[in-house]
Amino acid sequence: MDLALLRTFLTVHRAGSFTRAAALLGLSQPAVTSQIRTLERQLGRPLFLRQARGVTPTTMGDELAHKAAPHLDALVEITETGLDEDSSVRTLHLAGPPEFTAERALPALTELTGDDGQGFALRASFGNAEETLEGLAAGHHDLAISTARPRGALLTATPLCDEEHVLVAAPRWADRLGSGSLRHQGEPSLENFPVVEVHESLPFVARYWASVFDSRPAASGTVIVPDLRAVLACATTGAGLAVLPRYLCAAALERGDVVALTEPAVPPLRTYFLVVRTGTLAMPHIARAHEWLTHAAMEWS
């Protein structure tokens, strides 16, 4: 049986689409379709059921993927790394949200870029969940950090850690809101107070209000900046109220630059996932980075 046909089959199985598989393989969609039909003729059984959007594997398709995947992944690992591991330094391409990647993931991973003979070069890019997962699926990244769990078999996600969200403001705004009693009362009114956010839709504030107060905030953004570190800087200078991850504002809270306006019994949480293309953990540099981040995250939550 032609290994190229099996490789195409496994890519289609994981991608759930001839179109996406063709993009990953650098082939035309007719070429992918032709290879799958050739393999189905050789086996005498259909491997996929064609649907309006993509394909789903038959029982035979799932069985073949289960048997072939470990061996094909091992062959890919050999061709990717070469026989001499010391002959070149591997490069890990990481993608994720700018704040979390810069503040947590990169400081942890740079420990693996040394000259101990097992290190790797590191390249990072920033983006939202949709952008990073699309880039990972297309082969532009090796490892992605996402706040969304991907669907389908092409990508494999591992829960990494949870982040707690905190409603904060500079002390002068806290005094005007009456934060001392606010922590034990109901929903604060934001109609007369400025809000600092990353987008006009107020994603962090809206998520916080839905979780803590079961309502939507009556507010509009006063300062909109597309980076949570800039949101913190603006909130610290008194630009307005903000909802921030606790890890990002913990030092500012401790210094008193900002104060927490509420103390909900169950604080809002958001989960980060560590995502790879299925099968690529057979590659040592990706597996090592994945394991390193997973262990580092035990101290983050």
Asked if the domains at 3-82 and 91-162+271-299 fall in one CATH topology, the answer is no
- State pLDDT tens for residues 245-264: 999 999 999 999 999 998 89
- Read off the pLDDT of residues 284-296 as tens digits, 9 standing for 90 and up: 889 999 999 999 9
Pairing assessment for the beta strands 223-224 and 242-245 based on DSSP bridges:
unpaired
Sign of CA dihedral 104, 158, 151, 43: positive
pLDDT at 183 exceeding the cut of 50: no
Q: pLDDT tens, 137-148?
A: 878 899 999 999
Q: pLDDT tens digits for 71-116?
A: 887 776 666 555 445 445 688 999 999 999 999 999 999 888 865 5
The residues that bridge with 168 in the sheet, in sequence order, are: 242, 260
At what angle are helices 59-81 and 3-15 packed, to 10 degrees?
A: 110
Collect contacts of 216-219 with beta carbons under 8 A, ≥24 apart. 217/190, 218/189, 218/190, 218/191, 219/190, 219/191, 219/193, 219/195
Residue 209 has pLDDT above 80, yes or no: yes
Domain definitions of the chain by residue range:
3-82, 91-162+271-299, 163-269
The reported pTM is: 0.74
Domain 91-162+271-299 has what CATH class?
A: alpha beta
Tell which wins on pLDDT, 46 or 20: 46
CATH classification (class only), 163-269: alpha beta
- The domain defined by 3-82 folds into Arc Repressor Mutant, subunit A (1.10.10)
| pLDDT for 219 | 76
